[in-house]
Structure 1
Amino acid sequence: MILIADSGSTKTDWRLLGKDGQITQAKTQGFNPFYQDQETIEKELSEVLLPQLLGKPDEIHYYGAGISGERNQQILHSALLTTFPEAALIEVQNDLLASARALCGSEEGIACILGTGANCCVYNGEEIVSTVGGLGYVFGDEGSGASLGRQLLSEYLHHTLPKHLHEAFDKRYSTSRNEILENVYKRPMPNRYLAGFSKFLFHHKNDPHIYRMIYLSFTEFMEKNVLKCTNHQHYKVHFVGSIAFYYSDILRQVANDCHVALRNVLETPIAGLSLYHQEQAGISGRYL
Protein backbone atom coordinates (compact mmCIF):
# COMPACT_ATOMS: atom_id res chain seq x y z
CA MET A 1 0.00 0.00 0.00
CA ILE A 2 1.15 3.54 -0.77
CA LEU A 3 0.48 6.44 1.63
CA ILE A 4 0.57 9.95 0.15
CA ALA A 5 0.50 13.17 2.15
CA ASP A 6 -0.07 16.71 0.94
CA SER A 7 0.64 18.94 3.91
CA GLY A 8 0.32 22.69 4.22
CA SER A 9 0.71 24.76 7.35
CA THR A 10 -3.04 24.52 8.00
CA LYS A 11 -4.09 20.96 7.08
CA THR A 12 -2.81 17.68 5.66
CA ASP A 13 -4.68 15.53 3.14
CA TRP A 14 -3.73 11.83 3.17
CA ARG A 15 -4.56 9.08 0.68
CA LEU A 16 -3.83 5.39 1.05
CA LEU A 17 -3.60 3.60 -2.30
CA GLY A 18 -4.30 -0.13 -2.31
CA LYS A 19 -2.84 -2.51 -4.89
CA ASP A 20 -6.37 -3.11 -6.19
CA GLY A 21 -6.77 0.62 -6.91
CA GLN A 22 -8.95 1.26 -3.86
CA ILE A 23 -8.28 4.65 -2.25
CA THR A 24 -9.06 5.69 1.30
CA GLN A 25 -8.73 9.25 2.61
CA ALA A 26 -7.76 10.87 5.89
CA LYS A 27 -7.12 14.36 7.27
CA THR A 28 -4.94 15.79 10.03
CA GLN A 29 -3.71 19.24 10.99
CA GLY A 30 -0.97 20.73 8.87
CA PHE A 31 2.73 20.31 9.65
CA ASN A 32 5.60 22.74 9.26
CA PRO A 33 8.98 21.82 10.80
CA PHE A 34 9.91 25.49 10.94
CA TYR A 35 7.35 25.86 13.73
CA GLN A 36 6.77 22.33 15.09
CA ASP A 37 9.14 19.78 16.62
CA GLN A 38 9.27 16.05 15.94
CA GLU A 39 7.38 15.14 19.11
CA THR A 40 4.42 17.36 18.20
CA ILE A 41 4.23 15.85 14.71
CA GLU A 42 4.48 12.28 16.01
CA LYS A 43 1.63 12.92 18.45
CA GLU A 44 -0.69 14.07 15.65
CA LEU A 45 0.30 11.13 13.45
CA SER A 46 -0.31 8.51 16.14
CA GLU A 47 -3.44 9.98 17.71
CA VAL A 48 -5.22 11.40 14.65
CA LEU A 49 -3.89 9.75 11.47
CA LEU A 50 -3.43 6.11 12.51
CA PRO A 51 -7.07 5.58 13.63
CA GLN A 52 -8.23 6.71 10.16
CA LEU A 53 -6.10 4.22 8.20
CA LEU A 54 -7.36 0.76 7.30
CA GLY A 55 -3.96 -0.71 6.51
CA LYS A 56 -0.21 -0.29 6.91
CA PRO A 57 1.68 1.39 4.05
CA ASP A 58 4.69 -0.23 2.40
CA GLU A 59 5.86 3.14 1.13
CA ILE A 60 5.15 6.75 2.05
CA HIS A 61 5.42 9.86 -0.12
CA TYR A 62 5.15 12.99 2.03
CA TYR A 63 4.99 16.46 0.50
CA GLY A 64 4.89 19.42 2.82
CA ALA A 65 5.42 23.06 3.65
CA GLY A 66 8.68 23.96 5.35
CA ILE A 67 10.72 21.14 3.77
CA SER A 68 13.48 23.45 2.63
CA GLY A 69 16.59 21.90 4.14
CA GLU A 70 18.08 18.65 5.40
CA ARG A 71 17.21 19.38 9.04
CA ASN A 72 13.52 20.02 8.37
CA GLN A 73 13.35 17.05 6.02
CA GLN A 74 14.86 14.82 8.71
CA ILE A 75 12.29 15.94 11.30
CA LEU A 76 9.44 14.69 9.11
CA HIS A 77 11.29 11.57 8.01
CA SER A 78 12.00 10.57 11.62
CA ALA A 79 8.43 11.25 12.72
CA LEU A 80 7.06 9.11 9.89
CA LEU A 81 9.57 6.33 10.54
CA THR A 82 8.63 6.22 14.22
CA THR A 83 4.93 6.06 13.32
CA PHE A 84 5.33 3.59 10.43
CA PRO A 85 8.43 1.45 11.24
CA GLU A 86 7.31 -1.20 8.73
CA ALA A 87 7.49 1.14 5.71
CA ALA A 88 10.25 0.14 3.29
CA LEU A 89 10.37 3.55 1.60
CA ILE A 90 9.75 7.02 3.03
CA GLU A 91 10.13 9.97 0.64
CA VAL A 92 9.92 13.50 2.07
CA GLN A 93 9.69 16.31 -0.48
CA ASN A 94 8.57 19.93 -0.42
CA ASP A 95 5.08 21.10 -1.32
CA LEU A 96 6.33 22.77 -4.47
CA LEU A 97 7.27 19.45 -6.08
CA ALA A 98 3.85 18.14 -5.06
CA SER A 99 2.21 21.02 -6.89
CA ALA A 100 4.37 20.54 -9.99
CA ARG A 101 3.63 16.81 -10.18
CA ALA A 102 -0.09 17.33 -9.58
CA LEU A 103 -0.52 20.28 -11.95
CA CYS A 104 1.86 19.45 -14.80
CA GLY A 105 2.22 15.67 -14.68
CA SER A 106 4.91 14.84 -17.23
CA GLU A 107 4.66 18.16 -19.09
CA GLU A 108 6.81 21.23 -18.52
CA GLY A 109 5.24 24.33 -17.00
CA ILE A 110 5.26 26.86 -14.20
CA ALA A 111 3.64 25.62 -11.00
CA CYS A 112 2.52 28.07 -8.32
CA ILE A 113 1.14 27.79 -4.81
CA LEU A 114 -1.27 30.30 -3.29
CA GLY A 115 -2.55 28.94 0.00
CA THR A 116 -1.49 29.79 3.53
CA GLY A 117 1.89 30.51 1.93
CA ALA A 118 3.08 31.12 -1.64
CA ASN A 119 5.71 29.71 -3.97
CA CYS A 120 6.57 29.33 -7.66
CA CYS A 121 8.79 27.08 -9.78
CA VAL A 122 9.68 26.02 -13.31
CA TYR A 123 9.15 22.27 -13.87
CA ASN A 124 10.59 20.36 -16.84
CA GLY A 125 8.21 17.41 -16.64
CA GLU A 126 10.42 15.42 -14.29
CA GLU A 127 11.93 17.79 -11.76
CA ILE A 128 12.00 21.40 -10.60
CA VAL A 129 14.70 23.28 -12.48
CA SER A 130 14.35 26.67 -10.77
CA THR A 131 12.46 28.23 -7.89
CA VAL A 132 11.35 31.82 -7.44
CA GLY A 133 9.95 33.12 -4.16
CA GLY A 134 9.16 30.90 -1.20
CA LEU A 135 10.60 33.37 1.32
CA GLY A 136 7.85 32.92 3.91
CA TYR A 137 5.27 35.33 5.26
CA VAL A 138 7.82 37.79 6.70
CA PHE A 139 9.90 38.43 3.57
CA GLY A 140 7.49 37.37 0.85
CA ASP A 141 4.45 35.15 0.25
CA GLU A 142 2.71 37.89 -1.72
CA GLY A 143 -0.82 36.80 -2.62
CA SER A 144 -0.98 34.12 0.06
CA GLY A 145 -3.55 33.80 2.82
CA ALA A 146 -0.98 34.88 5.40
CA SER A 147 -0.01 37.93 3.34
CA LEU A 148 -3.63 38.95 2.73
CA GLY A 149 -4.47 38.45 6.40
CA ARG A 150 -1.48 40.54 7.43
CA GLN A 151 -2.58 43.37 5.14
CA LEU A 152 -6.13 43.26 6.48
CA LEU A 153 -5.01 43.31 10.12
CA SER A 154 -2.52 46.08 9.43
CA GLU A 155 -5.27 48.28 8.00
CA TYR A 156 -7.60 47.35 10.84
CA LEU A 157 -5.02 48.20 13.51
CA HIS A 158 -4.06 51.46 11.77
CA HIS A 159 -7.75 52.39 11.35
CA THR A 160 -7.34 52.74 7.59
CA LEU A 161 -10.10 50.29 6.68
CA PRO A 162 -13.26 51.98 5.42
CA LYS A 163 -15.72 52.44 8.28
CA HIS A 164 -18.23 49.83 7.08
CA LEU A 165 -15.48 47.20 6.79
CA HIS A 166 -14.01 48.09 10.18
CA GLU A 167 -17.44 47.67 11.76
CA ALA A 168 -18.03 44.39 9.92
CA PHE A 169 -14.65 43.11 11.16
CA ASP A 170 -15.49 44.04 14.77
CA LYS A 171 -18.84 42.32 14.52
CA ARG A 172 -17.37 39.12 13.10
CA TYR A 173 -14.29 38.67 15.28
CA SER A 174 -14.73 40.63 18.53
CA THR A 175 -10.96 40.71 18.94
CA SER A 176 -8.56 43.33 20.26
CA ARG A 177 -5.23 44.91 19.43
CA ASN A 178 -3.51 43.00 22.24
CA GLU A 179 -5.02 39.67 21.19
CA ILE A 180 -3.90 40.16 17.58
CA LEU A 181 -0.35 41.06 18.61
CA GLU A 182 -0.25 38.11 21.02
CA ASN A 183 -1.21 35.68 18.24
CA VAL A 184 1.25 37.14 15.74
CA TYR A 185 4.31 37.62 17.94
CA LYS A 186 4.03 35.11 20.79
CA ARG A 187 1.91 32.12 19.82
CA PRO A 188 2.81 29.21 17.49
CA MET A 189 1.96 29.21 13.77
CA PRO A 190 1.36 32.95 13.23
CA ASN A 191 1.13 32.34 9.47
CA ARG A 192 -1.86 30.05 10.02
CA TYR A 193 -3.48 32.65 12.30
CA LEU A 194 -3.02 35.40 9.70
CA ALA A 195 -4.35 33.22 6.87
CA GLY A 196 -7.53 32.59 8.83
CA PHE A 197 -8.64 36.17 8.14
CA SER A 198 -8.76 35.54 4.40
CA LYS A 199 -12.31 34.24 5.01
CA PHE A 200 -13.35 37.79 5.84
CA LEU A 201 -11.78 39.01 2.60
CA PHE A 202 -13.61 36.35 0.61
CA HIS A 203 -16.94 37.35 2.14
CA HIS A 204 -16.28 40.97 1.12
CA LYS A 205 -14.27 40.40 -2.05
CA ASN A 206 -16.74 42.36 -4.21
CA ASP A 207 -16.23 45.45 -2.07
CA PRO A 208 -14.02 47.82 -4.12
CA HIS A 209 -11.50 48.28 -1.29
CA ILE A 210 -11.10 44.54 -0.67
CA TYR A 211 -11.08 43.69 -4.37
CA ARG A 212 -8.25 46.16 -4.90
CA MET A 213 -6.29 44.70 -1.98
CA ILE A 214 -6.55 41.18 -3.42
CA TYR A 215 -5.90 42.32 -6.99
CA LEU A 216 -2.73 44.20 -6.02
CA SER A 217 -1.50 41.31 -3.90
CA PHE A 218 -1.93 38.85 -6.78
CA THR A 219 -0.27 41.33 -9.15
CA GLU A 220 2.69 41.55 -6.79
CA PHE A 221 2.93 37.75 -6.78
CA MET A 222 2.97 37.69 -10.59
CA GLU A 223 5.58 40.42 -10.83
CA LYS A 224 7.91 39.02 -8.16
CA ASN A 225 7.54 35.36 -9.09
CA VAL A 226 5.98 34.27 -12.39
CA LEU A 227 7.36 37.12 -14.48
CA LYS A 228 10.82 36.49 -13.00
CA CYS A 229 10.90 32.91 -14.35
CA THR A 230 13.21 32.62 -17.36
CA ASN A 231 11.20 32.42 -20.61
CA HIS A 232 7.95 32.52 -18.61
CA GLN A 233 6.04 33.49 -21.73
CA HIS A 234 6.76 30.07 -23.24
CA TYR A 235 5.15 28.11 -20.38
CA LYS A 236 1.65 27.34 -19.29
CA VAL A 237 1.15 28.58 -15.72
CA HIS A 238 -0.81 26.58 -13.14
CA PHE A 239 -1.93 27.33 -9.59
CA VAL A 240 -2.91 25.25 -6.60
CA GLY A 241 -4.11 26.26 -3.14
CA SER A 242 -7.21 27.50 -1.39
CA ILE A 243 -6.49 31.18 -2.10
CA ALA A 244 -5.90 30.56 -5.81
CA PHE A 245 -9.04 28.40 -6.02
CA TYR A 246 -11.52 30.59 -4.14
CA TYR A 247 -10.27 33.84 -5.67
CA SER A 248 -9.75 32.33 -9.12
CA ASP A 249 -11.87 35.00 -10.83
CA ILE A 250 -9.56 37.76 -9.56
CA LEU A 251 -6.47 35.63 -10.19
CA ARG A 252 -7.48 35.03 -13.82
CA GLN A 253 -8.07 38.75 -14.32
CA VAL A 254 -4.62 39.53 -12.94
CA ALA A 255 -3.03 36.85 -15.13
CA ASN A 256 -4.75 38.29 -18.19
CA ASP A 257 -3.59 41.81 -17.32
CA CYS A 258 -0.03 40.53 -16.83
CA HIS A 259 -0.15 38.55 -20.11
CA VAL A 260 0.29 35.22 -18.32
CA ALA A 261 -1.12 32.03 -19.89
CA LEU A 262 -3.04 30.72 -16.87
CA ARG A 263 -4.39 27.17 -17.18
CA ASN A 264 -5.22 24.83 -14.26
CA VAL A 265 -6.34 26.19 -10.89
CA LEU A 266 -6.82 23.48 -8.24
CA GLU A 267 -7.80 23.71 -4.58
CA THR A 268 -5.47 20.88 -3.52
CA PRO A 269 -2.92 18.70 -5.32
CA ILE A 270 -3.88 15.42 -3.65
CA ALA A 271 -5.93 13.97 -6.54
CA GLY A 272 -3.18 14.78 -9.03
CA LEU A 273 -0.56 13.29 -6.71
CA SER A 274 -2.61 10.12 -6.32
CA LEU A 275 -2.80 9.78 -10.10
CA TYR A 276 0.94 10.46 -10.45
CA HIS A 277 1.92 7.76 -7.95
CA GLN A 278 -0.61 5.29 -9.33
CA GLU A 279 0.98 5.68 -12.74
CA GLN A 280 4.46 5.30 -11.24
CA ALA A 281 3.40 2.10 -9.48
CA GLY A 282 1.33 0.77 -12.39
CA ILE A 283 -1.88 0.78 -10.38
CA SER A 284 -5.28 1.27 -12.03
CA GLY A 285 -7.05 3.89 -9.95
CA ARG A 286 -10.56 4.00 -8.55
CA TYR A 287 -12.38 6.69 -6.59
CA LEU A 288 -9.92 9.50 -7.32
Structure 2
Amino acid sequence: MNSSLAFGSFPHQFLLVGLSWVEDKKLPVSLLFLFMYLVVILSNCTIIVLIKMDQKLQEPMHIFIALLSLTDLSISSATIPKVLTIIWFSSNTISSAECLTQAYILYTMWGLQSSIFALMSFDRYVAICHPLRHSTLISRSFMTKSVALIVARSILTTFPLTFLIVRLSYSDLNTIYDIYCEFREVMKLSYGDLMPLSIYMVILICVYQGGDNSIIVFSYLQMLSIVYKLKSPQARWKSLSTCSSQAILLSLFYISTSIPFYLIFYPDTPLYVKTIAEVLSFLLLPMLNPIIYGARSKDIQDGLRRLYQKLVRL
Protein backbone atom coordinates (compact mmCIF):
# COMPACT_ATOMS: atom_id res chain seq x y z
CA MET A 1 0.00 0.00 0.00
CA ASN A 2 1.18 3.53 -0.72
CA SER A 3 2.66 5.12 2.36
CA SER A 4 0.69 8.30 1.62
CA LEU A 5 -2.46 6.61 2.82
CA ALA A 6 -3.89 8.69 5.62
CA PHE A 7 -4.05 7.07 9.00
CA GLY A 8 -7.59 6.25 10.00
CA SER A 9 -8.86 5.60 6.46
CA PHE A 10 -9.86 2.18 5.16
CA PRO A 11 -7.23 0.74 2.76
CA HIS A 12 -8.06 1.06 -0.94
CA GLN A 13 -6.78 -2.44 -1.63
CA PHE A 14 -5.28 -5.47 0.08
CA LEU A 15 -2.48 -7.87 -0.80
CA LEU A 16 -3.35 -11.57 -0.46
CA VAL A 17 -0.15 -13.57 0.10
CA GLY A 18 -1.59 -16.86 1.33
CA LEU A 19 -0.60 -18.60 -1.91
CA SER A 20 3.04 -17.51 -1.97
CA TRP A 21 4.09 -21.10 -1.21
CA VAL A 22 2.75 -22.42 -4.56
CA GLU A 23 5.25 -20.55 -6.75
CA ASP A 24 6.88 -23.74 -8.02
CA LYS A 25 3.64 -25.78 -7.94
CA LYS A 26 1.26 -23.46 -9.75
CA LEU A 27 0.13 -25.83 -12.49
CA PRO A 28 -0.79 -28.91 -10.40
CA VAL A 29 -2.34 -26.82 -7.60
CA SER A 30 -4.40 -24.69 -9.98
CA LEU A 31 -5.58 -27.73 -11.97
CA LEU A 32 -6.59 -29.49 -8.76
CA PHE A 33 -8.52 -26.43 -7.53
CA LEU A 34 -10.13 -25.96 -10.96
CA PHE A 35 -11.21 -29.61 -11.16
CA MET A 36 -12.70 -29.53 -7.66
CA TYR A 37 -14.45 -26.24 -8.38
CA LEU A 38 -16.00 -27.59 -11.59
CA VAL A 39 -17.24 -30.64 -9.67
CA VAL A 40 -18.73 -28.30 -7.05
CA ILE A 41 -20.57 -26.34 -9.76
CA LEU A 42 -21.81 -29.39 -11.65
CA SER A 43 -22.91 -31.44 -8.63
CA ASN A 44 -24.58 -28.63 -6.69
CA CYS A 45 -26.31 -27.15 -9.74
CA THR A 46 -27.60 -30.64 -10.57
CA ILE A 47 -29.06 -31.03 -7.07
CA ILE A 48 -30.68 -27.56 -7.17
CA VAL A 49 -32.21 -28.05 -10.65
CA LEU A 50 -33.32 -31.60 -9.84
CA ILE A 51 -35.17 -30.62 -6.66
CA LYS A 52 -36.63 -27.53 -8.33
CA MET A 53 -38.01 -29.49 -11.32
CA ASP A 54 -39.04 -32.80 -9.74
CA GLN A 55 -42.41 -32.55 -7.98
CA LYS A 56 -41.65 -35.74 -6.06
CA LEU A 57 -38.70 -34.01 -4.38
CA GLN A 58 -40.64 -31.17 -2.77
CA GLU A 59 -40.37 -32.60 0.74
CA PRO A 60 -38.84 -30.34 3.44
CA MET A 61 -35.59 -32.33 3.68
CA HIS A 62 -35.01 -32.09 -0.07
CA ILE A 63 -35.65 -28.34 -0.03
CA PHE A 64 -33.10 -28.00 2.77
CA ILE A 65 -30.63 -29.99 0.67
CA ALA A 66 -31.18 -27.61 -2.26
CA LEU A 67 -30.57 -24.62 0.04
CA LEU A 68 -27.42 -26.27 1.36
CA SER A 69 -26.21 -26.76 -2.22
CA LEU A 70 -26.90 -23.09 -2.92
CA THR A 71 -24.82 -21.97 0.07
CA ASP A 72 -22.00 -24.34 -0.89
CA LEU A 73 -22.01 -22.97 -4.43
CA SER A 74 -21.96 -19.40 -3.11
CA ILE A 75 -19.06 -20.06 -0.73
CA SER A 76 -16.93 -21.67 -3.44
CA SER A 77 -17.79 -19.03 -6.05
CA ALA A 78 -16.94 -16.21 -3.66
CA THR A 79 -13.39 -17.48 -3.17
CA ILE A 80 -12.07 -19.93 -5.76
CA PRO A 81 -12.21 -17.69 -8.89
CA LYS A 82 -10.03 -15.15 -7.08
CA VAL A 83 -7.71 -17.93 -5.88
CA LEU A 84 -7.28 -19.14 -9.47
CA THR A 85 -6.67 -15.56 -10.66
CA ILE A 86 -3.89 -15.21 -8.09
CA ILE A 87 -2.23 -18.45 -9.21
CA TRP A 88 -2.57 -17.95 -12.96
CA PHE A 89 -1.98 -14.21 -13.31
CA SER A 90 -0.09 -13.37 -10.08
CA SER A 91 -2.84 -10.85 -9.41
CA ASN A 92 -2.83 -11.02 -5.65
CA THR A 93 -4.33 -7.59 -4.98
CA ILE A 94 -8.00 -7.16 -4.13
CA SER A 95 -9.85 -3.86 -3.87
CA SER A 96 -11.45 -2.84 -0.60
CA ALA A 97 -14.94 -3.17 -2.14
CA GLU A 98 -14.16 -6.69 -3.39
CA CYS A 99 -12.62 -7.59 -0.05
CA LEU A 100 -15.62 -6.44 1.99
CA THR A 101 -18.05 -8.06 -0.46
CA GLN A 102 -16.21 -11.37 -0.30
CA ALA A 103 -16.06 -11.33 3.50
CA TYR A 104 -19.73 -10.32 3.74
CA ILE A 105 -20.85 -13.14 1.43
CA LEU A 106 -18.78 -15.70 3.30
CA TYR A 107 -20.00 -14.72 6.76
CA THR A 108 -23.60 -14.58 5.52
CA MET A 109 -23.35 -18.00 3.87
CA TRP A 110 -21.61 -19.58 6.86
CA GLY A 111 -24.38 -18.31 9.11
CA LEU A 112 -27.03 -19.52 6.70
CA GLN A 113 -25.33 -22.91 6.42
CA SER A 114 -25.33 -23.33 10.19
CA SER A 115 -29.04 -22.45 10.35
CA ILE A 116 -29.88 -24.88 7.55
CA PHE A 117 -28.20 -27.71 9.45
CA ALA A 118 -30.23 -26.71 12.52
CA LEU A 119 -33.48 -26.86 10.53
CA MET A 120 -32.48 -30.19 8.96
CA SER A 121 -31.78 -31.61 12.43
CA PHE A 122 -35.14 -30.38 13.71
CA ASP A 123 -36.87 -31.92 10.68
CA ARG A 124 -35.26 -35.32 11.38
CA TYR A 125 -36.14 -34.99 15.08
CA VAL A 126 -39.83 -34.50 14.22
CA ALA A 127 -39.73 -37.32 11.63
CA ILE A 128 -38.29 -39.82 14.14
CA CYS A 129 -39.79 -38.68 17.45
CA HIS A 130 -43.17 -37.41 16.19
CA PRO A 131 -43.75 -39.12 12.83
CA LEU A 132 -47.55 -38.72 12.87
CA ARG A 133 -47.23 -34.96 13.35
CA HIS A 134 -44.43 -34.40 10.83
CA SER A 135 -46.59 -33.09 8.00
CA THR A 136 -48.40 -30.80 10.44
CA LEU A 137 -45.36 -29.39 12.23
CA ILE A 138 -43.06 -29.18 9.18
CA SER A 139 -45.71 -27.64 6.95
CA ARG A 140 -45.31 -25.49 3.84
CA SER A 141 -46.03 -22.43 5.98
CA PHE A 142 -43.34 -23.44 8.50
CA MET A 143 -40.86 -23.97 5.68
CA THR A 144 -41.54 -20.57 4.10
CA LYS A 145 -41.35 -18.67 7.39
CA SER A 146 -38.29 -20.50 8.75
CA VAL A 147 -36.29 -20.12 5.52
CA ALA A 148 -37.24 -16.43 5.26
CA LEU A 149 -36.20 -15.96 8.90
CA ILE A 150 -32.76 -17.55 8.61
CA VAL A 151 -32.01 -15.76 5.33
CA ALA A 152 -33.02 -12.39 6.78
CA ARG A 153 -31.08 -13.10 9.98
CA SER A 154 -27.92 -14.01 8.10
CA ILE A 155 -28.08 -10.94 5.86
CA LEU A 156 -28.96 -8.43 8.58
CA THR A 157 -26.63 -9.65 11.34
CA THR A 158 -23.58 -9.59 9.05
CA PHE A 159 -24.11 -6.00 7.90
CA PRO A 160 -23.19 -4.34 11.25
CA LEU A 161 -20.00 -6.41 11.25
CA THR A 162 -19.02 -4.90 7.90
CA PHE A 163 -19.94 -1.41 9.11
CA LEU A 164 -17.82 -1.75 12.28
CA ILE A 165 -14.85 -3.08 10.28
CA VAL A 166 -14.90 -0.08 7.93
CA ARG A 167 -15.06 2.38 10.83
CA LEU A 168 -11.85 1.07 12.40
CA SER A 169 -8.61 3.03 12.09
CA TYR A 170 -5.91 1.61 9.81
CA SER A 171 -2.25 2.26 9.10
CA ASP A 172 -0.64 1.85 5.68
CA LEU A 173 -0.20 -1.92 6.16
CA ASN A 174 -2.45 -3.91 3.84
CA THR A 175 -0.97 -7.43 3.62
CA ILE A 176 -3.34 -10.30 4.43
CA TYR A 177 -1.62 -13.63 5.05
CA ASP A 178 -4.44 -15.66 3.63
CA ILE A 179 -6.02 -16.71 0.32
CA TYR A 180 -9.17 -14.66 0.81
CA CYS A 181 -10.50 -11.64 2.70
CA GLU A 182 -11.66 -12.49 6.18
CA PHE A 183 -12.87 -10.03 8.80
CA ARG A 184 -10.48 -11.35 11.44
CA GLU A 185 -7.50 -10.85 9.11
CA VAL A 186 -8.61 -7.32 8.24
CA MET A 187 -8.98 -6.55 11.95
CA LYS A 188 -5.30 -7.43 12.45
CA LEU A 189 -4.37 -4.49 10.22
CA SER A 190 -6.28 -2.00 12.33
CA TYR A 191 -5.38 -0.16 15.50
CA GLY A 192 -7.39 1.64 18.13
CA ASP A 193 -10.49 0.52 20.01
CA LEU A 194 -11.62 -2.94 18.90
CA MET A 195 -14.00 -3.38 21.85
CA PRO A 196 -17.33 -2.65 20.04
CA LEU A 197 -16.46 -5.00 17.20
CA SER A 198 -15.19 -7.71 19.56
CA ILE A 199 -18.34 -7.50 21.68
CA TYR A 200 -20.56 -7.77 18.61
CA MET A 201 -18.64 -10.80 17.30
CA VAL A 202 -18.93 -12.54 20.69
CA ILE A 203 -22.68 -11.85 20.75
CA LEU A 204 -23.01 -13.27 17.25
CA ILE A 205 -21.14 -16.44 18.19
CA CYS A 206 -23.05 -16.97 21.44
CA VAL A 207 -26.54 -16.14 20.20
CA TYR A 208 -26.30 -17.12 16.56
CA GLN A 209 -24.04 -20.17 16.59
CA GLY A 210 -25.07 -21.10 20.11
CA GLY A 211 -28.74 -21.13 19.13
CA ASP A 212 -28.14 -23.31 16.06
CA ASN A 213 -25.91 -25.71 17.98
CA SER A 214 -28.49 -25.98 20.77
CA ILE A 215 -31.16 -27.03 18.26
CA ILE A 216 -28.81 -29.57 16.68
CA VAL A 217 -27.70 -31.08 20.01
CA PHE A 218 -31.27 -31.21 21.33
CA SER A 219 -32.55 -32.86 18.15
CA TYR A 220 -29.87 -35.54 18.06
CA LEU A 221 -30.12 -36.33 21.78
CA GLN A 222 -33.87 -36.81 21.42
CA MET A 223 -33.44 -38.95 18.32
CA LEU A 224 -30.80 -41.15 19.96
CA SER A 225 -33.03 -41.53 23.00
CA ILE A 226 -35.95 -42.74 20.87
CA VAL A 227 -33.76 -45.04 18.77
CA TYR A 228 -32.18 -46.56 21.89
CA LYS A 229 -35.63 -47.54 23.17
CA LEU A 230 -36.47 -49.46 19.99
CA LYS A 231 -36.18 -53.20 20.56
CA SER A 232 -35.80 -54.29 16.94
CA PRO A 233 -32.31 -53.89 15.39
CA GLN A 234 -33.99 -53.39 12.01
CA ALA A 235 -36.11 -50.56 13.40
CA ARG A 236 -33.04 -48.94 14.96
CA TRP A 237 -31.10 -49.15 11.71
CA LYS A 238 -34.01 -47.76 9.69
CA SER A 239 -34.39 -44.82 12.06
CA LEU A 240 -30.66 -44.06 12.09
CA SER A 241 -30.39 -44.34 8.30
CA THR A 242 -32.88 -41.49 7.86
CA CYS A 243 -30.40 -39.03 9.37
CA SER A 244 -27.06 -40.72 8.61
CA SER A 245 -26.29 -38.52 5.59
CA GLN A 246 -26.96 -35.38 7.55
CA ALA A 247 -24.87 -36.63 10.48
CA ILE A 248 -21.92 -37.25 8.15
CA LEU A 249 -22.19 -33.80 6.55
CA LEU A 250 -22.69 -32.15 9.93
CA SER A 251 -19.49 -33.79 11.19
CA LEU A 252 -17.59 -32.64 8.11
CA PHE A 253 -19.02 -29.13 8.52
CA TYR A 254 -17.83 -28.86 12.11
CA ILE A 255 -14.41 -30.29 11.25
CA SER A 256 -13.88 -27.96 8.27
CA THR A 257 -14.96 -24.86 10.23
CA SER A 258 -13.20 -25.71 13.48
CA ILE A 259 -9.73 -26.30 11.97
CA PRO A 260 -9.27 -22.68 10.73
CA PHE A 261 -10.60 -21.44 14.07
CA TYR A 262 -8.15 -23.69 15.89
CA LEU A 263 -5.26 -22.32 13.82
CA ILE A 264 -6.01 -18.80 15.08
CA PHE A 265 -4.27 -19.76 18.32
CA TYR A 266 -1.15 -20.72 16.34
CA PRO A 267 -0.13 -17.59 14.42
CA ASP A 268 3.12 -19.18 13.23
CA THR A 269 1.29 -21.91 11.32
CA PRO A 270 2.77 -22.32 7.80
CA LEU A 271 0.69 -20.77 5.02
CA TYR A 272 0.26 -24.08 3.22
CA VAL A 273 -1.37 -25.59 6.32
CA LYS A 274 -3.85 -22.69 6.48
CA THR A 275 -4.57 -23.08 2.77
CA ILE A 276 -5.26 -26.82 3.04
CA ALA A 277 -7.58 -26.19 5.99
CA GLU A 278 -9.48 -23.55 4.02
CA VAL A 279 -9.75 -25.76 0.95
CA LEU A 280 -11.64 -28.23 3.15
CA SER A 281 -14.25 -25.53 3.72
CA PHE A 282 -14.29 -23.89 0.27
CA LEU A 283 -13.96 -26.91 -2.01
CA LEU A 284 -13.95 -30.33 -0.38
CA LEU A 285 -17.09 -29.92 1.72
CA PRO A 286 -19.16 -28.30 -1.09
CA MET A 287 -17.97 -31.08 -3.38
CA LEU A 288 -18.85 -33.89 -0.94
CA ASN A 289 -22.26 -32.60 0.19
CA PRO A 290 -24.24 -33.42 -3.00
CA ILE A 291 -22.23 -36.60 -3.60
CA ILE A 292 -23.02 -37.96 -0.13
CA TYR A 293 -26.71 -37.10 -0.40
CA GLY A 294 -26.85 -38.48 -3.93
CA ALA A 295 -25.19 -41.72 -2.88
CA ARG A 296 -27.26 -42.25 0.29
CA SER A 297 -30.68 -40.87 -0.68
CA LYS A 298 -32.89 -43.20 -2.69
CA ASP A 299 -35.29 -40.35 -3.48
CA ILE A 300 -32.52 -38.28 -5.08
CA GLN A 301 -31.20 -41.33 -6.95
CA ASP A 302 -34.69 -41.96 -8.34
CA GLY A 303 -34.98 -38.27 -9.22
CA LEU A 304 -31.67 -38.37 -11.09
CA ARG A 305 -32.91 -41.38 -13.06
CA ARG A 306 -36.13 -39.55 -13.95
CA LEU A 307 -34.15 -36.47 -15.00
CA TYR A 308 -31.82 -38.59 -17.14
CA GLN A 309 -34.77 -40.28 -18.84
CA LYS A 310 -36.29 -36.88 -19.62
CA LEU A 311 -33.02 -35.67 -21.13
CA VAL A 312 -32.68 -38.82 -23.23
CA ARG A 313 -36.18 -38.35 -24.68
CA LEU A 314 -35.39 -34.77 -25.76
Greater RCO between the two (CA within 8 Å, min separation 6)? Answer: 2
Greater share of residues in helix: 2
**Higher strand fraction: Structure 1 or Structure 2?**
1
> Normalization by structure 2: what TM-score?
0.27
The structure with the larger Rg is: 2
